Amino acid sequence: MIVLGFESSCDETGVAVVSAERGLLAHALYSQVEMHQAYGGVVPELASRDHVRRVLPLTQQALNGAGLTLDDVDAVTYTAGPGLAGALLVGASVAQAIAWARDLPSIAIHHLEGHLLSPLLATPRPEFPFVALLVSGGHTQLMRVDGVGRYELLGETLDDAAGEAFDKTAKLLGLGYPGGPALSRLAESGRADRFDLPRPKLHSPDLDFSFSGLKTAVLTRMKTLDADDAQARADLAAATQDAIVSVLVAKAAKALEATGLKRLVVAGGVGANRLLRERLATHLARLRAQAYFPPLELCTDNGAMIAFAGALRLQAGLANPSERHMGFTVQPRWPLDAA
């Protein structure tokens, strides 16, 4: 069974072709990040218009990459939310148009389910059940995952997401958008122990996070610094990254302990962070547990995870291949446990 998937929830247009039996066949991705850089963040209207420009050439590129045509496609999937309404509508309407034209089933996918299942595209592939640490630009959650469609929220951020904490502190440090990769690059030449930053909720008994205080702490430290002290900025970047990563590692370990599970799956853009990968691997080895990550290029938004989630839903019997949808909708706000 061949599934064609579309992602357009924010500032990446992604299209992918997945075989339910053989996994990812090809994916094509365009990031609008440069276009939004001038504004320091995503401009929704510009994002929607650019998705319109990119989506069909990317579809052709993905099909070519797989050596297939639309005739070979058995089902179409798209990100139906959460995300920017106008942006979501582009992927959703193209997917639905193909489904109508070709008399194919269409499956609305929750963006976070895509992130959550993306580590299953890697080798070795984690077995269910596992704990998922979902760390993206808009979300920071710990979930217990017992199977496709069986997700239990264990804890989440009470304010900013981990990616948001990276982005906002990077902005304070005068780094570009998105801040995560830039901040972690700067951190490589810094010493984390020069600044003692707060590690919110590090020792709280729950599995929740809080990152909003971090940017205030960074701002306060910045005011004490000489504006052109490059080393101090690198040290502050290293301290920020260390604070975020320490809390993520500690809470992920606590979630494994609480559930008695031995597998941790990391998903979302912050999952690309090298320090997080290293610290988790060593910490979990001590707990005789194992960490699994998606392939690096599939950590941030992409079509592969959406096509793959659709294929898994079909395989699990959670989507009916003979069902046809007469209408479609997107859900800018959509809790995963309601999906």
Q: Known binder of ligand: residue 273?
A: yes
- Residue 104 or 167 with smaller CB distance to ligand ATP: 167
Question: Looking up tokens 């099909």, which residue turns up?
Answer: 63
Residue ranges in 264-303 that form contacts with Mg ion under rule CB under 5 A: 301
Question: Looking up tokens 């839903």, which residue turns up?
Answer: 313
Q: Known binder of ligand: residue 137?
A: yes
Question: Looking up tokens 């990812």, which residue turns up?
Answer: 24
- Residue 155 or 178 with smaller CB distance to Mg ion: 178
Question: Does residue 121 contact residue 295 with C-beta atoms inside 8 Å?
Answer: yes
Residue ranges in 264-293 that form contacts with ligand ATP under rule CB under 6 A: 268-270, 272-273
Which x/- pattern, by CB under 6 A, does the window 134-153 give for ligand ATP?
--xxxx--------------
Number of C-beta neighbours around residue 203 at 10 A: 7
Q: What 3-state DSSP class applies to 182?
A: helix
User: Is there binding between residue 178 and ligand ATP (CB under 6 A)?
Assistant: yes
- Residue 186 or 314 with smaller CB distance to ligand ATP: 186
User: Is there binding between residue 7 and Mg ion (CB under 5 A)?
Assistant: no
Q: Known binder of ligand: residue 115?
A: yes
Give the per-residue SS3 of 10-78. Answer: CCEEEEEEEECCCEEEEEEEEECHHHHHCCCCCCHHHHHHHHHHHHHHHHHHHHHHHCCCHHHCCEEEE
Beta bridge partners of 192: none
Least CB distance from residue 324 to ligand ATP, whole Å? 29
Among 7, 11, 160, 208, binds Mg ion (CB under 5 A): 11
Question: Does residue 293 contact residue 120 with C-beta atoms inside 8 Å?
Answer: no
- Residue 63 or 141 with smaller CB distance to ligand ATP: 141
User: Is there binding between residue 240 and Fe ion (CB under 5 A)?
Assistant: no
Residue ranges in 298-327 that form contacts with Mg ion under rule CB under 5 A: 301
Least CB distance from residue 163 to ligand ATP, whole Å? 3
Pairing of strands 2-7, 12-19: antiparallel
User: Is there binding between residue 332 and ligand ATP (CB under 6 A)?
Assistant: no
- Residue 200 or 268 with smaller CB distance to Fe ion: 268
86 interacts with, out of ligand ATP, Mg ion, Fe ion, none, CB within 5 to 8 A per kind: none
Stretch that binds Fe ion, among 88-96, 146-154, 248-256, 296-304 (CB under 5 A): 296-304
Question: Does residue 122 contact residue 292 with C-beta atoms inside 8 Å?
Answer: yes
- Residue 98 or 264 with smaller CB distance to ligand ATP: 264
H runs (alpha helix) in the chain: 33-37, 44-66, 85-102, 111-117, 162-172, 179-187, 212-223, 230-259, 274-286, 304-315
CA distance 288 to 263: 9
Which x/- pattern, by CB under 6 A, does the window 83-122 give for ligand ATP?
----------------------------x---x-------
- The strand order across the sheet containing 263-267 reads 150-156, 140-147, 130-135, 263-267, 290-292
- Residue 42 or 145 with smaller CB distance to Mg ion: 42
Applying CB under 5 A, what is the total number of residues that bind Fe ion?
A: 2
Number of C-beta neighbours around residue 224 at 10 A: 8
- Residue 105 or 163 with smaller CB distance to ligand ATP: 163
**CA distances (Å), origin 167, targets 182, 219, 292:** 9, 14, 24
Q: By CB under 5 A, name the binding residues for Mg ion.
A: 10-12, 301
Annotated binding site for substrate: 134-138, 167, 180, 273
Q: By CB under 5 A, name the binding residues for Fe ion.
A: 136, 301
Q: By CB under 6 A, name the binding residues for ligand ATP.
A: 10, 111, 115, 136-139, 163, 166-167, 178-181, 184, 268-270, 272-273, 300-301
